[in-house]
Chains A and B, each alone.
Chain A
Amino acid sequence: MAVIHDMMPAFELFQPASLDDALGLLDRHGADAWVMAGGLDSFDWLKDRIRKPAVVVELGAIDGLRGVKAAGDGIEIGAMTTLTEVVTNPLVREKFGVLFQGAEAAASPQIRNQGTIGGNLSQDARCWYYRAGWSCYRAGGNVCYADTPTAVNREHAIFGADRCVAVNPSDTAPAMIALDAKMVIRSSKGERIVDAQDYFVGPGTDITRLTTLQPGELLTAIRIPGTWAGAEFYTEKVADRKVWDFPLVNIASAMKVNGSTIERARIVVNAVAAQPMRLEAVEQFVAGKPRNEETANAAGELAVRGAVPLAHNAYKIPLMRNLVKRAIRGGDNGWASTS
Chain B
Amino acid sequence: MGIDFLTRGITPWGQSVFTHISWDLLWVSFFAGVVFLAAHSVYMLLSAHSKRASADVDALEAKLKGLPEKIQRHSLPARMFHWIMAASMLTLLFTSFLPIVGVKFAWVEWHWMAGLVLAASILYHIIHATFFMDFWSIWVGPKDIPELKSEMMRELGGDTSGPKAAKYPLGNRLYHMAIVVTGIGASATGLFMMKKVQTPFFTRDPYILADATWSWMYVAHGAAGVALVGLTMAHIYFAIRPEKLWLTKSMLFGFITRRQYLEHHDPTRWRVPGSEPVGGRPSE
Which A residues lie at the B interface, using CB under 8 A?
Answer: 1-2, 129, 132-135, 139-145, 147-150, 161-163, 202, 204-206, 308
Q: Please give, as numbers and ranges, the residues of chain B lying within 8 Å of A135 by CB-CB distance.
A: 9-11, 17, 19
The reply to whether B19 and A206 form a contact with Cβ atoms under 8 Å apart is no
Q: Which of B102-110, B134-142, B180-188 is near enough to bind chain A?
A: B102-110
The reply to whether A148 and B10 form a contact with Cβ atoms under 8 Å apart is no
The reply to whether A205 and B106 form a contact with Cβ atoms under 8 Å apart is yes
CB distance from B107 to the nearest CB of A (A): 7
Which residue of A143, A161, A204, A206 is within 8 Å of B206 (Cβ)?
Answer: A143
Bound CA span A163–B198, Å: 7
The reply to whether B106 and A134 form a contact with Cβ atoms under 8 Å apart is no
Q: Please give, as numbers and ranges, the residues of chain B lying within 8 Å of A206 by CB-CB distance.
A: 104
Smallest Cβ-Cβ distance to A205: which chain B residue: B104
Not counting A1-B12, A133-B10, A202-B106, a sample of 17 additional A-B residue pairs whose C-beta atoms are within 8 angstroms of each other reads: A1-B10, A1-B14, A2-B14, A134-B10, A135-B9, A135-B19, A141-B19, A142-B19, A142-B196, A143-B214, A148-B205, A148-B207, A162-B106, A163-B196, A163-B197, A204-B105, A204-B107
Smallest Cβ-Cβ distance to B222: which chain A residue: A142
CB distance from B228 to the nearest CB of A (A): 19
Q: Please give, as numbers and ranges, the residues of chain A lying within 8 Å of B207 by CB-CB distance.
A: 148-150
Q: Please give, as numbers and ranges, the residues of chain B lying within 8 Å of A205 by CB-CB distance.
A: 104-106
Within B92-143, which residues are at the interface with A (CB < 8 Å)?
104-109
Q: Is B218 interfacial (CB-CB < 8 Å)?
A: yes
Contact A134:B19 (CB < 8 A) given known A147-B204, A162-B108, A163-B196: no
Bound CA span A161–B109, Å: 11
Q: Please give, as numbers and ranges, the residues of chain B lying within 8 Å of A132 by CB-CB distance.
A: 12
A-B contact pairs, 25 of them (CB 8 A): A1-B10, A1-B12, A133-B10, A134-B9, A134-B12, A135-B9, A135-B10, A135-B17, A139-B9, A140-B9, A142-B214, A143-B206, A143-B214, A145-B12, A145-B206, A148-B204, A148-B207, A150-B207, A161-B198, A163-B198, A204-B105, A204-B107, A204-B108, A205-B105, A205-B106
The reply to whether B9 and A148 form a contact with Cβ atoms under 8 Å apart is no
Chain B window 39-61, contacts with chain A (Cβ cutoff 8 Å), 1 for yes, 0 for no: 00000000000000000000000
Q: Is B73 interfacial (CB-CB < 8 Å)?
A: no
Bound CA span A129–B203, Å: 19
Bound CA span A178–B77, Å: 55
The reply to whether B10 and A149 form a contact with Cβ atoms under 8 Å apart is no
Smallest Cβ-Cβ distance to A146: which chain B residue: B204
Bound CA span A165–B107, Å: 16
The reply to whether B19 and A140 form a contact with Cβ atoms under 8 Å apart is yes
Residue picked from A139, A142, A202, A205, most chain B C-beta under 10 Å = A142
The reply to whether A144 and B108 form a contact with Cβ atoms under 8 Å apart is no
Bound CA span A133–B205, Å: 20
Q: Is B167 interfacial (CB-CB < 8 Å)?
A: no
Contact A144:B106 (CB < 8 A) given known A1-B12, A2-B14, A135-B9: no
The reply to whether A142 and B205 form a contact with Cβ atoms under 8 Å apart is no
The reply to whether B104 and A143 form a contact with Cβ atoms under 8 Å apart is no
Q: Is B20 interfacial (CB-CB < 8 Å)?
A: yes
Bound CA span A129–B11, Å: 10
Q: When A and B form their complex, which 9 residue pairs have the shortest distance between CB atoms, in order from nearest?
A: A135-B9, A204-B106, A141-B9, A143-B206, A141-B19, A205-B104, A1-B14, A147-B204, A142-B218
The reply to whether A149 and B104 form a contact with Cβ atoms under 8 Å apart is no
Bound CA span A108–B196, Å: 37
Q: Please give, as numbers and ranges, the residues of chain A lying within 8 Å of B204 by CB-CB distance.
A: 144, 147-148
Bound CA span A134–B9, Å: 7
Q: Please give, as numbers and ranges, the residues of chain B lying within 8 Å of A129 by CB-CB distance.
A: 12
Q: Please give, as numbers and ranges, the residues of chain A lying within 8 Å of B218 by CB-CB distance.
A: 142
Smallest Cβ-Cβ distance to B16: which chain A residue: A135
Chain B window 178-220, contacts with chain A (Cβ cutoff 8 Å), 1 for yes, 0 for no: 0000000000000000001110000111110000001000100
CB distance from A203 to the nearest CB of B (A): 8
Smallest Cβ-Cβ distance to A160: which chain B residue: B106
Bound CA span A142–B19, Å: 6
Bound CA span A149–B208, Å: 11
Bound CA span A40–B104, Å: 29
Q: Please give, as numbers and ranges, the residues of chain B lying within 8 Å of A308 by CB-CB distance.
A: 198
Contact A144:B107 (CB < 8 A) given known A1-B10, A1-B12, A132-B12: no
Smallest Cβ-Cβ distance to A147: which chain B residue: B204
CB distance from B90 to the nearest CB of A (A): 20
The reply to whether B108 and A163 form a contact with Cβ atoms under 8 Å apart is yes
Bound CA span A161–B17, Å: 25
CB distance from A55 to the nearest CB of B (A): 20
Bound CA span A156–B14, Å: 24
Chain B window 1-18, contacts with chain A (Cβ cutoff 8 Å), 1 for yes, 0 for no: 000000101111110010
CB distance from B209 to the nearest CB of A (A): 11
Bound CA span A142–B14, Å: 16
Q: Please give, as numbers and ranges, the residues of chain B lying within 8 Å of A149 by CB-CB distance.
A: 203, 205, 207
The reply to whether B20 and A142 form a contact with Cβ atoms under 8 Å apart is yes
Bound CA span A132–B214, Å: 20
Q: Please give, as numbers and ranges, the residues of chain A lying within 8 Å of B12 by CB-CB distance.
A: 1, 129, 132, 134, 145
